[in-house]
């Protein structure tokens, strides 16, 4: 049986994030200003062709798949980024220093976008904040670190957009924000998970020390129409 986290974009678009995208019973995708992510209920030639017809020439989409040999024809694979999918199975921290952690809202979008330009955490657009659950740490008026929630698949909630301004690296901001999210997600009766590039061994090791375990390989396919 296929695990729900093998196709988290699909289940997010069929669940709590359905209002952020559109599609059919075979294919779904987020509005571009929210996310470039798309998903199919099955990776068949017919479904890839149907998705191809939805988009215009030169448009891009991003698909997740544990398969390393995906054939998305007639799409062109611009890049395939090998990654890991990790699920939290550790012990919850007794306390997380959270006095300086701020809930981020629409009024912070410009600062969030500015931070993601300096320390890119992955796709982040004008309406990405609508996934909800974003928190950050400020230095004066400047947002210097943040983390949020993205793909809610079944009982699982993805921690995403983890980034820290280079000038503030090494202060433990990312770790505190992630554990803050872990506590919030588990308090809601859900299971935290996240994705990391395979080449980012420093981050993967950190996540493992925090209580995340590798569930699966997960490839991030960037496709062009």
How does pLDDT run across 53-112, given as a tens digit for each residue? 999 999 999 999 999 999 999 999 999 999 999 999 998 877 778 889 999 999 999 999
Query: Are 48 and 72 within 8 A, CB to CB?
Result: yes
Going from the N-terminus, what domains does the chain have, and what CATH number goes with each? 4-85 (3.40.630.30), 86-214 (3.40.630.30)
Does the pLDDT of residue 5 top 80, yes or no? yes
pLDDT in tens, 148-195: 999 999 999 999 999 999 999 999 999 999 999 999 999 999 999 999
Copy the structure tokens of residue 17.
Answer: 């994030």
**Residues 195-225: pLDDT tens digits?**
999 999 999 999 999 999 999 999 999 999 9
Task: List phi, psi (to 5°) of 213.
Answer: -120, 150
Q: CA-to-CA distance for 166 and 169, rounded, in angstroms?
A: 5
Angle at 174 between CA 168 and CA 193, to 5 degrees: 160
Check residue 106 and give its pLDDT: 95
pTM of the model: 0.94
Distance of CA 62 to the CA centre of its chain: 11
């Amino acid at each position: 049986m296929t695990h729900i986290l093998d196709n988290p974009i699909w289940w997010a678009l069929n669940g709590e994030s359905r209002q952020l995208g559109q599609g059919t019973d075979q294919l779904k995708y987020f509005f571009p200003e929210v996310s470039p992510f798309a998903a199919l209920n099955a990776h068949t030639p017919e479904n890839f062709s149907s998705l191809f017809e939805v988009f215009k020439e030169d448009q891009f989409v991003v698909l997740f798949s544990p398969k390393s040999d995906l054939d998305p024809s007639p799409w062109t694979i611009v890049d395939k980024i090998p990654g890991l999918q990790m699920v939290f199975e550790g012990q919850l921290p007794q306390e997380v220093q959270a006095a300086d952690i701020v809930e981020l809202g629409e009024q912070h979008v410009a600062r969030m976008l500015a931070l993601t330009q300096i320390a890119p955490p992955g796709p982040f657009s004008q309406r990405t904040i609508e996934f909800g659950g974003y928190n950050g740490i400020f230095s004066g008026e400047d947002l210097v670190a943040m983390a949020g929630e993205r793909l809610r698949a079944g009982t699982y909630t993805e921690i995403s957009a983890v980034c820290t301004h280079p000038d503030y690296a090494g202060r433990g901001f990312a770790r505190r924000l992630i554990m803050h999210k872990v506590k919030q997600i588990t308090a809601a009766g859900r299971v935290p998970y996240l994705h990391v590039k395979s080449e980012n061994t420093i981050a993967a090791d950190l996540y493992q020390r925090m209580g995340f375990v590798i569930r699966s390989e997960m490839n991030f396919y960037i496709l062009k129409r």
